[in-house]
Chain A
Amino acid sequence: MKTPEVLANRPPDVKEVHIIWMTSGLSCDGDTISTTGASLPSIEDVVMGNIPGLPKVHLHNPVLAYEVGDDFMKYWHMAAEGRLDPFVLVLEGSVPNENIKSEGYWAAMGTDPHTGQPITTNEWIDRLAPKALAIVCAGTCATYGGIHAMEGNPTGAMGLADYLGWEWRSKAGLPIVNVPGCPVQPDNMMETLLYLLYQVAGLAPMIPLDEQLRPTWLFGKTVHEGCDRGSYYEQADFAHEYGSPKCLVKIGCWGPVVNCNVTKRGWMDGIGGCPNVGGICIGCTMPGFPDKFMPFMDAPPGAALSTAIVGIWGGAVRKLRAITNRTVNKEPKWHHRGTHLTTGYQPKYYGNGNGRG
């Protein structure tokens, strides 16, 4: 009998891939930290070649790098000059709007040897995006703007798709891949990278993404659909205080309209999570996060109506939810790259037609 072909014996279509991981958006670095917590697979599994069939991976992430300063930045420069090919770009953090002011910078990494000034994150995106095989946004800041793009913010922050355009395609024809979450759920991030590595190796078809550019198998269901408190909801048995094991919808849980698998997957190896362990879902994976969910600790509008009719009019509830789900799946309108800040913050010193001084 002929020995079947196994991945361990099949050389990947592409032998080596670099991952350039930028943490210099407006971020908290929480997505890198979160990713170090992944075990399915872990970073070591991927970097050390523990999984059959994958190309060799070279990771360049500032939090984990051995190199410092220029030794580290050389990969960035090589990538920008097309000398580090192929590479996957990972962006962490929202993209500030550097156009709303006449001087200075909001976010930068490395120093330009010619001007002595910092190289802005946006400049890096402009240099690297055209050369990248794929771009993955890690976390809700990079995907949709997130916390730093909240109403009243001074930097005009937005998600990468707002910056590059939702129709953007990489030179290999891939759309931006969004893995939202604040922070990103560890295994969701590593699993998405793993999928892309399979795709690069020639082992998987185009990554399936929804309209918000999320991997469909990770974000296709709602928090509520995975929540183990669902039977309380069904029996209209609601918690009125924190610390109760019952359904949290009356004290702020947005689970019914939020796309996220954390109730099913837990946080670390099945442990922790949100509503299933006593935390309200604040919609942290959503394009409308945080503005459309605040104040977080109040019951979501519509909760009173939909919880009152549970069981009787399931169809009506589903329809109502679809509408809310559409709303929270949209970013607020002030996420844009125009030259005028429209977040509500009144700047004093931006020059550039913005501000008063």
Chain B
Amino acid sequence: MAEAIATKPRQTTPGKSGQIVEMSWDPITRIVGSLGIFTKIDFENKKVVECHATSSIFRGYSIFMQNKDPRDTHFITSRICGICGDNHATCSVYAQNMAYGIKPPPLAEWIVNLGEAAEYMFDHCIYQDNLVGVDFCEMMVRETNPGVWEKAKVTPAPHAKDHGYRTIGEIMTALNPFEGEFYRKTLQMSRVTREMFCLMEGRHVHPSTLYPGGVGTVPSIQVFTDYLTRLMNYIEFMKAVVPLHDDLFDFFYEALPGYEQVGQRRILLGCWGSFQDPDVCDYNYRTMDEWGRAMFVTPGIIVDGELVTTNLIDINLGIRILLGSAYYEDWQDSGKTFVKHDPLGNPVDKRHPWNQTTTPKPQKRDFDGNYSWVMSPRWFDKRTGDHLALDTGGGPIARLWTTALAKLVDIGYVQATGHSVKIRLPKTSLKPEVELEWKIPKWSNAIERDRARSYFQAYAAGVALYCVEQAMKEVLAGRTQTFTPFKVPEEAISCGFHEAVRGVLSHHMVIKNRKVANYHPYPPTPWNASPRDSYGTPGPYEDAVQNTPLFEENGPDKFKGIDIMRTVRSFDPCLPCGVHMYLGNGKLLKQLHNPTAFAPLAKK
């Protein structure tokens, strides 16, 4: 068997004749966790012809959570991710509320919303300018596209008066790691937003004050004013951040015609909704449709630009966990069926997270067979029978897109219009009121994923402002209860839906004898970073990198893979919750003038 192992990805699709070079990046840095990207690049046609994404970490959460006290699940699942752990804790609390049949007092919901808003503000902030931003900084652009750098130096920035940088070149310089002015400012802002987070949820990134039934946070007036004053500073910062990124990203379209194809894939987006409205949400599965739609970020699935559903029950029932290329045993025939029907009597599939059994099978990495620890979540589209490889686009693009199309959200500071999302930022110390409008873009590509992130920072700030006002109302009216007592039932099934910073997050739980019988968290990364599934459908990273055109000026000898990096990083990869990339240092691993030479190696 040993000789059948492909230690490097093999050509499985015929490419045009050209110089096909294997290139890999392992690890991909400036992301959280370990991801390896293995590609085949056609340098003659400046195109990526094939891509495999692989993860190199397995920890086994769904295994060691079995038989634990269900009340421990939010503490444990928080540790899945070190940058969005609180999103897990929150989602687990949502699932527990459903299982225990409780509804926290409204003030508790406002506090959780404020904590989660601070998390989005923090995480997008640090990611956008301290991690992904480096791909657009002077150092990088000079190295990969000296021509573009020359142009940037003389291109005036259209919104110079809003952000203070006269040219695109100045913006790029400000993004240089550790030295750039804007890089440093962002890092500082990421701390202020984490302080806001700590005011609500105790500690970052694994919260201490979240519980099923509510929060332990003591709702003093001070807690909210401390939050609000920091928030207003962030809002002032947003009035520079959004125009700065618009200038930078628009420049790339202009300087490199065709750049819209970088990281472009079919519009297949999923968003599971965020920010509960305490007036509507009661955590009852039967009414999940209604309270899901009341969220301040609307859940939904978009297929080719069309909003297919906003119903969390439909979303829930359509989730399928496929294998295909991951190191696990299939549970289709062997595993236990925990849930045959949902509380409404709808049949639940064996491949649904409620019925998943995780049995790890450690083995050698084989790019023709199994090559990752990440499974492949898909959404079953009953209209077509397709298992759709939805992506989250790193979170913001999907959230803004579903919210815009659904036209349900209107809370003063943010409003969905059917084709856009408006964000109204009130006057701050040095700047007047500003209205920002995110419009549905033409493409689901690298630049638009990144652009949406800046807008969503402002969106989260708008929601935070609304929630802080609501929370203050409660406190001033003397309604300071933050906790609803509960009992763990003998048996229950439940689910929680939320938006982790980088996209869809679900937690599915089955309780038997007051213990966890089955628990499966599905964070965004398995959706985005999944390997080829049992139908051969590549995961979104693979798919977006495959066919991406290359604009880098360097040839194979000095190749940095910047367009590939921008593609992958636009998804805000975060592998603790799912996955590992490798650039062979621009090293020519293999050069073949005739790609059919791969044929004899291909799997029979």
Which residues of chain A have a CB within 8 Å of any CB of chain B? Answer: 23-24, 26-34, 36-37, 39, 42, 44, 47-48, 62-74, 101, 103-111, 115-118, 146-148, 150-155, 157, 182-183, 241-245, 248, 262, 266-269, 271-274, 277-280, 282, 284, 290, 294-297, 343, 345, 347-350
Contact = CB atoms under 8 A, between A and B. Distances in A.
B29 to A, nearest CB: 4
B26 A64 contact: no
B190 A36 contact: yes
Interface of B: 7-8, 24-34, 36, 56-60, 63-64, 66-69, 71-72, 75-76, 79-83, 85, 108, 126, 130-131, 134, 139-140, 177-179, 184, 187, 190-191, 194-195, 197-199, 201-209, 211, 213-219, 226, 327, 329, 359-365, 480-483, 485, 560-561, 565, 576, 580-585, 587
Given A268-B191, A290-B75, A72 B29 contact: yes
B364 A117 contact: yes
Nearest to B209: A279
Given A29-B83, A151-B64, A103 B202 contact: no
Contacts of B207: 279
Q: Is the interface of B mostly helix, strand, loop or mixed?
A: loop
Contacts of B130: 36, 64
A278 B211 CA distance: 11
Nearest to A281: B208
Given A28-B81, A36-B187, A147-B76, A152 B64 contact: yes
B60 A155 contact: yes
Given A70-B25, A111-B36, 16 more contacts: A47-B178, A63-B29, A70-B585, A104-B365, A117-B7, A148-B79, A153-B59, A155-B59, A242-B209, A243-B216, A244-B218, A248-B216, A278-B202, A278-B216, A280-B216, A349-B362
Contact of A66 (B60, B66, B134, B362): B134
B195 A111 contact: no
A151 B25 CA distance: 35
A26 B30 CA distance: 18
B362 A279 contact: no
A279 B217 CA distance: 7
B552 to A, nearest CB: 13
Contacts of A267: 198, 202-204
B64 A150 contact: yes
A295 B71 contact: yes
Contacts of A273: 198, 202-203, 208
Contacts of B126: 36
A106 B204 CA distance: 27
Contacts of A70: 25, 582-585, 587
A24 B33 CA distance: 7
A73 B204 CA distance: 29
A278 B58 contact: no
Given A30-B79, A277-B217, A295-B72, A24 B363 contact: no
Contact of B32 (A29, A183, A345): A29
Contacts of B219: 243
A277 B202 contact: yes
Interface centre among A242, A248, A274 (most CB of B within 10 A): A242
Given A44-B184, A108-B34, A271 B205 contact: no
A244 B208 CA distance: 14
Given A34-B204, A69-B581, A70-B585, A241 B485 contact: yes
B527 to A, nearest CB: 18
